[in-house]
Each structure stands twice: as C-alpha cells, then as structure tokens.
Amino acid sequence: MNVKAYKTPSIEQIENEFHCDRKDAERAWNYAFESAQERFWEEAQDIAKDLFPDCTFGAEGRCGGWAVVYQLPPVDSWDAVQVAKWASFESQLKKMVKGYCDWENWLEEITVNRWAENGSERYNFIDKKDGTTACIADLKKMARQSGFGAVVRA
C-alpha cells in the first residue's frame, strides 16, 4: 500500500509562523518529518499486528513509501472477513498519513520541541543533574553569548 506523504507543510509556512530564517525552518521541517515518519511506522506496526497477527509488516521502496504485510494468503482466496480487515488497515493508514501531514500537527510538534529555534537539535532537551530539564538551543545560545562561538555536540 502506498503511504508516501505528498502534501506536507512547506518550509515557507514554518519561516512565516516562527519568524525564523530559512536554515532553521529547513531543519525544523526535517525534524518534524522524521518525527512524523517514526510515529507513523510505530503506529502502523501496531495496527498490522492487531489485524494480521500471523503476518509480518514492513516498509519497501527507495524511501520506505510502501507499507507491506507479508505472509498474507493470496488475495483471490480472501473471504469477507479478510477483505474487511484489509479495508480497515488501508483506511487507518491513509488517515494516519493525512493526520501526520497536517499543518496543525506539525505546528504543535515544532512548537513543543522548539525545532525552529537557532541551534535546535532533533532531541532538543536534556535532563540536568539537578533534576531540571534544559533546552539545547538555550544552552547553545548562552554559550555563544558567553563568547564560546559555535557549539558542536558529538
């Protein structure tokens, strides 16, 4: 089944919404897309296991744009129950693709993860020894303001 994301929010939308430069908007777009992909495949795996417990599930194609259920019986042998399961599977995955490509979803992800900020990283928060959480973008900004220049994490 084709699960490619053809209509995602644009980099320009991110630039305009977050008042950030192109580089930060591109990075935020990439992080949001990667996050949506990961969440989609995790959820799709669960749906496939629920509907087809004796089968395996995976992605195929150059960029993983095809969801595939392996070990299904030949289509011409399917009964009404099997057809209904496939229809449910297909419907749920299409709905997920649409939802994960929705601007409101991306807006929330970019906002809560602070991905449009200069110096942000995909995993943008760390737990400090004192039990508080710090945003990496803030730490990099403080380092630059203190004269340390560009901060690179290995």
Q: What is the pLDDT of residues 60-89, one digit of tens each?
A: 988 888 999 999 999 999 999 999 999 999
User: Whole-angstrom Cα distance, residue 32 to residue 19?
Assistant: 17
Domain boundaries, the chain: 11-118
Checking if the pLDDT of 140 tops 80, the result is yes
Query: Is residue 146 very low, low, confident or very high in pLDDT (cuts 50, 70, 90)?
Result: confident
Contact, 110 vs 131, CB < 8 A?
no
* 93 against 5, higher pLDDT: 93
User: Whole-angstrom Cα distance, residue 30 to residue 24?
Assistant: 10
Query: Is residue 141 very low, low, confident or very high in pLDDT (cuts 50, 70, 90)?
Result: confident
Q: How far is CA 90 from CA 53, 67, 110, 133, 145, in A?
A: 16, 10, 28, 40, 51
User: Whole-angstrom Cα distance, residue 11 to residue 32?
Assistant: 11
Burial classification of residue 152, based on how many CB atoms lie within 10 Å of its CB (0-12 exposed, 13-18 middle, 19 or more buried):
exposed
Q: What per-residue confidence (pLDDT) applies to 135? A: 87
Distance in angstroms between the alpha carbons of the first and the last residue of the chain = 38
The DSSP H or E segment spanning 57 is strand 56-60
CA 106 to chain centre: 9
Query: Is residue 112 very low, low, confident or very high in pLDDT (cuts 50, 70, 90)?
Result: very high
Q: What is the pLDDT of residues 8-50, one digit of tens each?
A: 999 999 999 999 999 999 999 999 999 999 999 999 999 999 9
Query: Is residue 144 very low, low, confident or very high in pLDDT (cuts 50, 70, 90)?
Result: confident
